[in-house]
Amino acid sequence: MEIKNLSTRMLSKIAKSDEHGENSPYFDGWKAYDSDPFDPIRNPNGVIQMGLAENQLCFDLVQEWIERNPEASICSHEGLHAFKNIALFQDYHGLPHFRNAVARFMAKMRGGRVSFDPDRIVMGGGATGANEMLMFCLADPGDAFLIPSPYYPAFDRDLRWRTGVKLIPINCQSSNNFKITKEALEESYQNAKVKVKGLILSNPSNPLGTILDKETFKTLIEFINDKKIHLVCDEIYAATVFGGANYTSVSEIIQEMECDRNLIHIVYSLSKDMGFPGFRVGIIYSYNDNVVNCARKMSSFGLVSSQTQHFLASMLSDDDFMDKYLLESSRRLASRHSKFTNGLDKVGISCLASNAGLFCWMDLRHLLKEETFEGELGLWRVVINDVKLNVSPGSSFHCQEPGWFRVCFANMDDETMEIALRRIRKFVGTNEQENARVKMAKPWRKNLRLSFSSITYDHETRVSSPVIMSSPRSPLVRAHT
Amino acid sequence: MEIKNLSTRMLSKIAKSDEHGENSPYFDGWKAYDSDPFDPIRNPNGVIQMGLAENQLCFDLVQEWIERNPEASICSHEGLHAFKNIALFQDYHGLPHFRNAVARFMAKMRGGRVSFDPDRIVMGGGATGANEMLMFCLADPGDAFLIPSPYYPAFDRDLRWRTGVKLIPINCQSSNNFKITKEALEESYQNAKVKVKGLILSNPSNPLGTILDKETFKTLIEFINDKKIHLVCDEIYAATVFGGANYTSVSEIIQEMECDRNLIHIVYSLSKDMGFPGFRVGIIYSYNDNVVNCARKMSSFGLVSSQTQHFLASMLSDDDFMDKYLLESSRRLASRHSKFTNGLDKVGISCLASNAGLFCWMDLRHLLKEETFEGELGLWRVVINDVKLNVSPGSSFHCQEPGWFRVCFANMDDETMEIALRRIRKFVGTNEQENARVKMAKPWRKNLRLSFSSITYDHETRVSSPVIMSSPRSPLVRAHT
Cα–Cα distance measured from residue B343 to residue B50, given in angstroms and rounded to the nearest whole number: 15
The CA distance from A68 to the nearest CA of chain B, in Å, is: 9
Report whether pLDDT(A331) > 50: yes
pLDDT at residue number A1:
40
Q: Which residues of chain B does A228 touch, with a Cβ-Cβ cutoff of 8 Å? A: 6, 10
DSSP 8-state assignment for residue A206: T
3-state secondary structure A250-307: HHHHHHHCCCCHHHEEEEEECCCCCCCHHHCEEEEEECCHHHHHHHHHHHHHCCCCHH
Report whether pLDDT(A478) > 50: no
Mean pLDDT of B201-224: 97
Q: How confident is the model at residue A70 (pLDDT cuts 50, 70, 90)?
A: very high
- Nearest chain B residue to A4 by CA: give it: B262
- CB contact under 8 Å between A6 and B481, yes or no, is no
Mean pLDDT of B9-16: 89
Active-site residue list of A? 152, 234, 236, 272
Report whether pLDDT(B472) > 70: no
Report whether pLDDT(B339) > 70: yes
Report whether pLDDT(B469) > 70: no
Q: Which residues of chain A does B66 touch, with a Cβ-Cβ cutoff of 8 Å? A: 75-76, 80, 83
Phi and psi at A97, nearest 5°, equal -70, -25
Cα–Cα distance measured from residue B146 to residue B69, given in angstroms and rounded to the nearest whole number: 45
Flag the least confident range among A163-177, A414-428, A441-455, B230-244.
Answer: A441-455
Q: Is B86 a catalytic residue?
A: no
- CB contact under 8 Å between A140 and B88, yes or no, is no
User: B374-431: per-residue pLDDT in tens?
Assistant: 999 999 999 999 999 999 999 999 999 999 999 999 999 999 999 999 999 999 987 7
Report whether pLDDT(A11) > 70: yes
Q: Which residues of chain B does A278 touch, with a Cβ-Cβ cutoff of 8 Å? A: 86-90, 305-307
pLDDT at residue number A438:
59
User: B343-365: per-residue pLDDT in tens?
Assistant: 999 999 999 999 999 999 999 99
B460 vs A311, residue with greater confidence: A311
Report whether pLDDT(B209) > 70: yes
Q: How confident is the model at residue B471 (pLDDT cuts 50, 70, 90)?
A: very low
To the nearest whole number, what is the mean pLDDT of chain A?
89
User: A281-300: per-residue pLDDT in tens?
Assistant: 999 999 999 999 999 999 99
pLDDT at residue number B466:
27
Mean pLDDT of A180-189: 97
**Which of B1, B8, B9, B10 should be substituted to probe chain A, the one whose Cβ sees the most A Cβ atoms within 10 Å?**
B10
The CA distance from A424 to the nearest CA of chain B, in Å, is: 26
To the nearest whole number, what is the mean pLDDT of chain B?
89
Mean pLDDT of B99-115: 95
Q: Is B236 a catalytic residue?
A: yes
pLDDT at residue number B27:
80
Report whether pLDDT(A472) > 90: no
Cα–Cα distance measured from residue B102 to residue A335, given in angstroms and rounded to the nearest whole number: 43
Q: How confident is the model at residue A23 (pLDDT cuts 50, 70, 90)?
A: confident
- The structure's pTM equals 0.90
- CB contact under 8 Å between B132 and A301, yes or no, is yes
Q: Burial of A471 by CB count in 10 Å (0-12 exposed, 13-18 middle, 19+ buried)?
A: exposed
The active-site residue, picked from B166, B272, B369, B388, is B272
Mean pLDDT of A338-350: 96
Count other Cβ atoms within 10 Å, centred on residue B346.
12
- CB contact under 8 Å between B126 and A11, yes or no, is no
Q: Which residues of chain B does A22 touch, with a Cβ-Cβ cutoff of 8 Å? A: 297
pLDDT at residue number A18:
79
Cα–Cα distance measured from residue A273 to residue A268, given in angstroms and rounded to the nearest whole number: 10
- CB contact under 8 Å between B3 and A129, yes or no, is no
Q: What is the dihedral of CA B271, B276, B281, B282, to 10 degrees?
A: 0
User: A192-236: per-residue pLDDT in tens?
Assistant: 999 999 999 999 999 999 999 999 999 999 999 999 999 999 999
- CB contact under 8 Å between A70 and B77, yes or no, is yes
The CA distance from B301 to the nearest CA of chain A, in Å, is: 4
Q: Which residues of chain B does A10 touch, with a Cβ-Cβ cutoff of 8 Å? A: 138, 197, 228-230, 262-263
DSSP 8-state assignment for residue B163: T
Report whether pLDDT(A440) > 90: no
**Of residues B344, B211, B334, B356, the one with CA closest to residue B273:** B356
pLDDT at residue number B5:
62
The ipTM, to two decimals, is: 0.90
Q: Is B234 a catalytic residue?
A: yes
Q: Which residues fall within 8 angstroms of residue A244, CB to CB, at 6 or more apart?
A: none
- Name which of A13, A230, A307 is nearest B305 (Cβ-Cβ): A307
- CB contact under 8 Å between A480 and B7, yes or no, is no
- CB contact under 8 Å between A277 and B307, yes or no, is no
Cα–Cα distance measured from residue A300 to residue A289, given in angstroms and rounded to the nearest whole number: 18
Report whether pLDDT(A449) > 60: no
Q: Burial of B450 by CB count in 10 Å (0-12 exposed, 13-18 middle, 19+ buried)?
A: middle
How big is the CA angle at B245 (ends B244 and B249), to the nearest 5 degrees? Answer: 125
- Name which of B8, B76, B83 is nearest A76 (Cβ-Cβ): B76
A301 vs A464, residue with greater confidence: A301
Mean pLDDT of B307-318: 98
